[in-house]
Amino acid sequence: MTARATTASDSGPVEHAFFATAARNLETLLAEELRGLGIANAQDTRAGVRFSGGLEDAYRVLFWSRVASRVLMPLATFDAPDAEHLYDRVRDIHWPEHLAPGRTLAVHLDAVRSGVENGHYGALKVKDAIVDQFRDLGLERPNVDTRRPDLALRCRIFRDQATLYLDLAGDPLHRRGCRIQDGAAPLKENLAAAVLLRAGWPGIAAAGGGFLDPLCGTGTLPIEAGLMAADIAPGLLRTELGVHWGCTGWRGHAAAAWEDLLGEARERRAAGLARMAKHGPRIRGSDQDPRAVRAARDNAARAGLAGHLHFDRRELADCAPAAGDKPGLLVTNPPYGQRLGGQHGGRSEDAAVLPALYATLGRVLRERFDGWHAAVLTGNPDLGKGMGLRAKRFHTLYNGPIECRLLHFEVSPEAHVSDRPRPLPAAERGPGADMLANRLRKNQKALAKWLRSEGNSCYRLYDADLPEYALAVDIYGSADTQHPERRFVHVQEYAAPPDVDPKAARRRVREALGVIAEVLAVPEEDIFFKIRQRQRGSAQYERLRQTARFHAVAEDGLTFLVNFEDYLDTGLFLDHRDTRRLVRELARDRHMLNLFCYTASASVHAAAGGARSTTSVDLSRTYVDWARQNLALNGFTGRDHQLIQADCLEWLANARAYRGRFGLIFLDPPTFSTSKRMWGTFDVQRDHVALIRGALTLLAPDGVLLFSTNRRRFRLDTSALAAADGPTSRLHIEDISAATIPRDFQRNPQVHKCWRLEQRS
C-alpha cells in the first residue's frame, strides 16, 4: 500500500493520517494539548496520539506542541516477513515524489517479533531499495546523511507487519535549540513542559502568579515556563535557531502553510513578550552552582527570554518569594540518587546527602511559601516523604528509563506533616526500650564522677551502644544563670542501611525519644532530633532550616552559642573538647591563628588562655558572624581578635604579611571542599601536605601547629612533610590523637585524628 504526497486537489485539501509520539505516560496529556490546538479527532493510544487532517494541522503540531516527541506521517503499511519482502515493498513506493534526485535521506528501523531481526540491517535494506529505484530510473542516487537529511524515514515492524513513516520533525521536538550548555542530568524540554502543564502553570501564569525553581540547574523548567507565559511556539525557536526539520526537504512540503504558521508564531511571540513585560508573571530560577546559573542565563538569552527570566546563585535554604511576588508555583526536579543512561538505577555519589536536601526543600516550602502551589519531580518517592508536606495528588512520569512521581502540594498549614518522630508512649514500647533506658542510666552513672571533676556540662551520653538503637545522644548544659539546671538533648539517628525495614527503624526512634525524655527528665521542647547521613565534603555545614534559634551553653567557664535545628552540627564539636583545652594551654602570650575556624570556639579558648591575639578565618559569612558573637559573649572584642571572611586556601596562599607571626595555629580543614577560584577541589588526604606547608610559613620559630581531621582512614604523610625543603626540614611531628579524644567519645577512637607539629632547630 502506498500514499501519495499531495497537499491539495480539486475537491479541497487532502486528509492524511498522522501519529504524534510521546514519552510514556504522556499520551493523554498530548491528546489534550492537540485538541487545544484545534485537532478535535486526536485520540491517545500507546506511545502517542493518532489524528488526521491536512498538512497544516501536522505543521501546527510541529510548531506548537510542547509535549510531543515527533510527528510521523504513514507512507505505507505492508507485510515484511523478511528482509527481501521489506526491500520489495519499499521499492513499490514511487520515491521521486518524496525526494529530489541527489538529495539526502536517513532511515531508522525498529523491529519487534519480526523476521527482520537486526534493525541496522533492516534500515540498510530500506535505503538500498530507495537508492536502487533512483538508479534504475536513471536519476542521481540520494546519499545518506544521518544528521540533517532531506528525507527522514522511520520504519516499525511488529509481528512482520511494517509501517513506513515520514518523520516530519527530523530532530526530536524536545530539542528547542536554545540549550547551549547541559547540566549533569538535564531534563528533556518536553518532560519539563509536561511537568508544568500537570502543575497548572498556564493558569497560574495567566493570573500573574510567581514562579520559582530553586534547583534550576541550566534553566530548563524556568525557560519552558517562560515560553508558555510569553506564548512562544517551540517550533519557532527551532526554525530560527537552525534545528533540523524533517519536512522542509520533503518534496510534498507545503511551504505556504509553513510560512503562514511561522508568521503567526512571530506575531504571537511579540504580543506575548510585551504582555509579559508589562503584567508578568515573574519567573525565577536559582542554583547553588554558579556555572549552572551562567549556563541558565545563556540558554534563556538564546530562547529570546533575556530580561524576562531571572537567575541567581542561591543556596536552597536561602530561597524565598521575591518582593511583590503573588503566590504562584514552585516547581523543581531535585536529584534523586539515580543516574540516567548507562548508569541508571545506580546510586549517585551524592545520594547520602539527599534526605537532608529534600528535608530542606520541605522546610523552605512550609516556612516561606504559604499559599503557593508546589510540584516536585522525583525518582525516589521515599525522599519526598521527608519533606514534611502531604501531597495532594501525584502523576507518574518517566525521566528516560526512570519511573518518577510528580508530587503536587498546596502549601498551607493543613498540609504540614511533622518530620520529627513522635515519642512512643511507654505502653506501646517493646522490650528493647527497657534495655535502652537501662543503658542510659548506666552511662549517666559511669560518667557522673568524671563530669563533676572535669566540670563538663556538654558531653556525649550515648553513641549507638545498642545496635538496635543507632543514635548519638548529646547533652548540652545551659549557660543561663537563672536556669543553670536546664539541659538540651541533641539526638542524631545514624541512617539505617538499606536492608533495615524503614518502619521498624522509625518505631525504634520513637521508642528512643520517649525513653530519653523520661530517663533524662527533659521536656520534649528541649529535645532536638536529626538524621545523620554520611556526609561528603562541606555538607555537614549546610543549612537544614532557618529558625535562627540559638541557645547559650557552658564549657570550661566559657559561653558558646549553639543551634540545634538549622544545621547538621550544632556549632560546638564535643569531640574536640580536649583539643580546645590544649589550644587554651598553648596560647598564652602567643598570637593564635584559627583556619577553617567554623564558629571560632578554639579561638575563644585561646583568648581565655591568654593569647596575645587571635585571627580566625572562614569562608562562610554565617560562621564568621557566629564566631564574632561567641568571642563577644566571652568579652573578647577589638583589634586583637580579628575575624576574616575569606577562602582559607586563597588567604593562606597570599598571607605574606603574616610570615612567622603565629605562635599557635589550629588547622581543622574539611575533608573535601570546592575552592571556586584557586584550588579547584580540596581533598584533605590528597592536599594536606601542601596545606600544612603553607600554614608552617606563618608559624613562629618556637610555634606549635595543631592539625586535626575527622576523615576516617586518613594517613598523615610524615615522610613528605619531613623530606620537604625549607622550614619543614626541621619538623617534629607527634600523633596526639589518643590524648585529644575525650572519655565520652572513647567508644569510637576514630572520631578524629590530631597531630602536633613543631619546628625545632
Tens of pLDDT, residue by residue over 93-134, are 999 999 999 999 999 999 999 999 899 999 999 999 999 999
Residue 343, pLDDT above cutoff 80: no
Mean pLDDT of the chain: 90
What is the spatial distance between Cα 723 and Cα 719, in angstroms, rounded to a whole number?
6
pLDDT at 224: 98
Same fold, 426-534 and 567-759: no
pLDDT at 398: 95
pLDDT at 535: 46
Q: What percent of the chain has pLDDT over 70?
A: 91
Task: Please tell me the least confidently modeled range out of 180-184, 268-272, 700-704.
Answer: 180-184
pLDDT at 500: 78
Q: Comparing 345 with 653, which gets the higher pLDDT?
A: 653
Backbone dihedral angles phi then psi of residue 561, each to the nearest 5 degrees: -90, 130
What is the spatial distance between Cα 77 and Cα 586, in angstroms, rounded to a whole number?
88
SS3 8: strand
pLDDT, tens only, 230-247? 999 999 999 999 999 999
What is the spatial distance between Cα 665 and Cα 680, in angstroms, rounded to a whole number?
24
pLDDT, tens only, 422-452? 888 889 999 999 999 999 999 999 999 999 9
Q: What is the mean pLDDT of residues 38-66?
A: 97
Quickly state the pLDDT bin for 543 (edges 50, 70, 90). Answer: low
Work out the end-to-end distance of the chain between its first and last CA atoms, rounded to an integer number of angstroms.
96
Question: Are 623 and 538 in contact, with CB atoms under 8 Å apart?
Answer: no
Q: Comparing 683 with 497, which gets the higher pLDDT?
A: 683
pLDDT at 182: 65
What is the spatial distance between Cα 119 and Cα 122, in angstroms, rounded to a whole number?
5
Residue 185, pLDDT above cutoff 90: no
Residue 10, pLDDT above cutoff 90: no
Find where cell 519557532 sits.
236
Residue 329, pLDDT above cutoff 90: yes
Task: Please tell me the least confidently modeled range out of 172-186, 207-221, 276-290, 565-579.
Answer: 172-186
Q: What percent of the chain has pLDDT over 90?
A: 77
The H helix count followed by the E strand count for the chain is 21, 32
Q: Where are the domains of the chain?
A: 8-167, 189-232+273-415, 426-534, 567-759
pLDDT at 14: 81
Find where cell 509579559 sits.
276
pLDDT at 354: 81
CATH class of the 567-759 domain in this structure: alpha beta
pLDDT at 336: 77
Quickly state the pLDDT bin for 533 (edges 50, 70, 90). Answer: low
Q: What is the mean pLDDT of residues 656-672?
A: 93
Q: What is the CATH number of domain 8-167?
A: 3.30.2130.30
Residue 146, pLDDT above cutoff 90: yes
Residue 2, pLDDT above cutoff 80: no
Partnered with residue 329 across adjacent β-strands are 211, 373
pLDDT at 346: 34
Count CB atoms within 10 A of the CB of residue 139.
Answer: 15
189-232+273-415: which CATH architecture? 3-Layer(aba) Sandwich (3.40)
Residue 158, pLDDT above cutoff 80: yes
426-534: which CATH architecture? 2-Layer Sandwich (3.30)
DSSP per residue over 642-706, as a string? Answer: EEEES-HHHHHHT-GGGTT-EEEEEE---SEEEETTTTEEEEHHHHHHHHHHHHHTTEEEEEEEE
Residue 615, pLDDT above cutoff 60: yes
Q: What is the mean pLDDT of residues 188-198?
A: 97
Q: Comparing 338 with 381, which gets the higher pLDDT?
A: 381
Would you call 668 exposed, middle or buried from its count of C-beta atoms within 10 A (0-12, 13-18, 19+)? buried
- Does the pTM exceed 0.95? no
Quickly state the pLDDT bin for 680 (edges 50, 70, 90). Answer: low
Would you call 713 exposed, middle or buried from its count of C-beta atoms within 10 A (0-12, 13-18, 19+)? exposed
Q: Comparing 681 with 116, which gets the higher pLDDT?
A: 116
